[in-house]
Amino acid sequence: MGTVRHYSSQDRLSIENAALIMIDHQTGLLSSCRDIAPETLTNNIMALAQVGLFFKLPVVLTQGGRGGMNAGGPLLRELVEAFPDTPVIDRHFPNAYDDPNFRQAIQDTGRKKLIMAGCTFDYCLALPAMHLAADGYDVYAVVDASGNWDALTTQATMIRLAQAGVIVCNWVSVWGELHRDHDAPNDPEIMAVMAKAYPAMGWVANNWMYAQGKYPEQKLVRDKPVPDLREGS
């Protein structure tokens, strides 16, 4: 059983201490995932990628073997397009941790907090995540941007990871921990990432933008002036 870790201010993710690691989001592997609907999984993967892009995090991309010319297939097209200048570490090691190029790429980020997602969650993500946690990294396993064979396997893997000291989370919690201040000048842009990924939350974001005066001007047509509802408050 892993040691219980008490959260402290030093544990917070920040744009200065975090890197994004995306493992084996390959079309062949993704097609076998049954714990999350395909459209939701793709949406979550790309939302996490957009968070990494927005906050300019160092990014490591890797795939399992032969340039995608195997059963695993190539990396998700949208993911490759999102990071056109990021090299893809092409492995013959099933466990990414065993690949020296992968370990070196992580070391080269200079970051100790690793936001990791991978397909499948129980193997491609879990094995390197546990190794890296043992090496002293703070690993955040993003479960809803990973994908797995079935829900039961995902649940078992979450328990195993937590016992190994890995922090299991979702992409929204990563977004929220990195985005510190709604008064920041870039708040509308990062809220737009949320709005695109979660339309229902997008409506909430609309309310917030409107209240902040960061909303498109509306040309109202009325037969009498708009009352000031704040009068007398």
Report d(CA 38, CA 14) in Å as an integer: 30
Catalytically active residues, by annotation? 124
pLDDT in tens, 87-123: 999 999 999 999 999 999 999 999 999 999 999 999 9
- Distance from the first to the final alpha carbon of the chain: 56
pLDDT above 90 covers a percentage of the chain that reads 66
Average pLDDT over residues 141-169: 96
How far apart are alpha carbons 177 and 186 in whole angstroms?
A: 15
Is pLDDT of 65 > 70?
A: yes
For the chain, the 3-state helix, strand and coil shares in percent, each to the nearest 5, are 45, 15, 40
Instruction: List pLDDT tens digits, range 15-37.
Output: 999 999 999 999 999 998 899 99
pLDDT for the residue 232: 54
For the chain, the domains span: 16-178, 181-215
Angle, in degrees to the nearest 10, between helices 151-163 and 126-134: 10
In sequence order, the 6+-apart residues with CB closer than 8 A to the CB of 70 are: 28, 64
Tell me the per-residue pLDDT of 4-15, one tens digit each, with 9 for 90 and over.
Answer: 666 777 778 999
Q: What is the pTM of this model?
A: 0.89
> In 3D, which of 186, 191, 230, 226 has the Cα closest to residue 209?
191
Q: Select 16-178's CATH number: 1.10.580.10, 1.10.260.40, 3.40.50.850, 3.10.20.30.
A: 3.40.50.850
Closest by CA to 48, choosing from 186, 175, 180, is 175
